Amino acid sequence: MTEGNFVDYVKIFVSSGKGGKGSTHLHREKFIEKGGPDGGDGGRGGHVFLVGNKSLWTLFHLKFARHVKAGNGGDGSGDRSTGADGDDKYIEVPLGTVVKDKETGEILFEITEDGEKQVLSRGGKGGLGNWHFRSSTNQTPRYSQPGLPGIEMDVILELKVLADVGLVGFPNAGKSTLLSVLTSAKPKIADYPFTTLKPNLGIVAYRDFQSFVIADIPGIIEGAAEGKGLGHYFLRHIERNSTLLFLVPVDTPDIKGEYDILVNELTKYNPEMLDKERMVVISKCDMLDDELKVELKAELDVSFKGIPYMFISSVAQQGLTELKDKLWKMLNE
Ligand SMILES: Nc1nc2c(ncn2[C@@H]2O[C@H](COP(=O)(O)OP(=O)(O)OP(=O)(O)O)[C@@H](O)[C@H]2O)c(=O)[nH]1
Ligand SMILES: [Mg+2]
């Protein structure tokens, strides 16, 4: 994912197919003089569906799909044969896509589950063939129904949330490692700064089949808001997250000081960033023995004064369940 291919809003013109005409065919065969009506029905027009796909993250693939048109139904023909149904069209969208009628602004529906399929525009019904209209008074009806037209509409697709939680930290803080242990994402991890060059997203599977999304972005350094490092370029990606998770490694000499630098950079970039819920995670705690942890805790309780913080280790899998619980609570409060 880069700046260019993140798209969360597209306008599309959709049209379902029109129904096929019913046939007015009269049966003809050698030696049978009046065969009677045998015109078949028209096929229905194709529908346009939206389908949820959990491996899609943006609407980028629809950016150039300005017009989606389903196929028309085939006309009925003699021998009571029904026309073919028009081809349906399936538009795949990420979960959390909201569909609006462009004219009225009305929300039509939302796709929230993988594989969920909803009709956006229904194909027109096929017309009935003359065979249906035969009666004792009219044995050779030369009448059949036309197919019904398809439905044309302009719709807006909007992706609600990119990620619920944004990871913020200096390079090498262990952000990508944390993403890799909380989700099935496989970001690049290495012992040097700026390993991550583009944001990575992952879904945290939470108790009872719930989930939330975490975004890992490149490390932020002092001066990021003025363009140092890479962080500033990606700060806008976490502008949309509802919760920020600050990562500071436990071996940092001044933990609160590093946190302050991060907060300061975000504030300089956009003061509204501070309106978000935030939590501090002291990472790599496997490097600390219990005794030192108690000492550090006493220190941090004073310096963090009421700012929620916790210890974790991605490598030793410590504190991860507690972290998920806390994030879930913050997101749902
Ligand atoms: N001991 C220990 N090392 C860790 C832990 N988590 C990450 N590391 C190490 O810290 C280094 C940096 O980890 P990354 O996950 O790449 O850090 P990052 O914050 O994504 O770094 P950038 O992408 O450069 O911003 C790697 O060598 C990891 O193996 C942990 O819980 N314990
Ligand atoms: Mg990284």
Ligand 1 pocket member 116 (CB < 6 A) = no
Amino acid at position 39, single letter: G
Contact 95, 159 (CB under 8 A): no
**Residue nearest to ligand 1 atom 1, measured at CA:** 284
- Nearest ligand to the C-alpha atom of residue 281: 1
Amino acid at position 10, single letter: V
**Residue nearest to ligand 1 atom 27, measured at CA:** 191
Ligand 1 pocket member 218 (CB < 6 A) = yes
Question: What is the model's pLDDT at position 161?
Answer: 56
Question: What is the model's pLDDT at position 233?
Answer: 64
Question: What is the model's pLDDT at position 6?
Answer: 57
Output the CA 147–ligand 1 centroid distance in Å. Answer: 63
Residues 33 and 176 in one domain: no
Spell out, as residue ranges, where the chain has pLDDT lower than 50.
1-4
What is the residue whose two structure tokens read 């009506």?
A: 37
pLDDT digits (tens, 9 = 90+) for 236-280: 667 667 799 999 999 999 999 999 999 998 898 888 888 888 999
- Sequence-distant (6+) residues with CB within 8 A of 12 are 62, 65, 66, 67, 68, 91, 154, 155, 157
pLDDT digits (tens, 9 = 90+) for 6-35: 577 899 999 999 999 999 999 887 777 777
- If one residue of 177, 232, 247 were mutated to test the ligand 1 pocket, choosing by the most ligand atoms within 8 A of its CB, it would be 177
Residues 244 and 209 in one domain: yes
Q: Tell me the residue range of the domain where 175 lies.
A: 165-332
SS3 55: coil
69: domain CATH number? 2.70.210.12
Residues 127 and 181 in one domain: no
Helix residue ranges per DSSP H, the chain? 175-182, 231-238, 255-269, 290-304, 320-332
Residues 121 and 198 in one domain: no
Residues 182 and 309 in one domain: yes
**Boundary residue ending a domain (159, 194, 219):** 159
Residues 140 and 197 in one domain: no
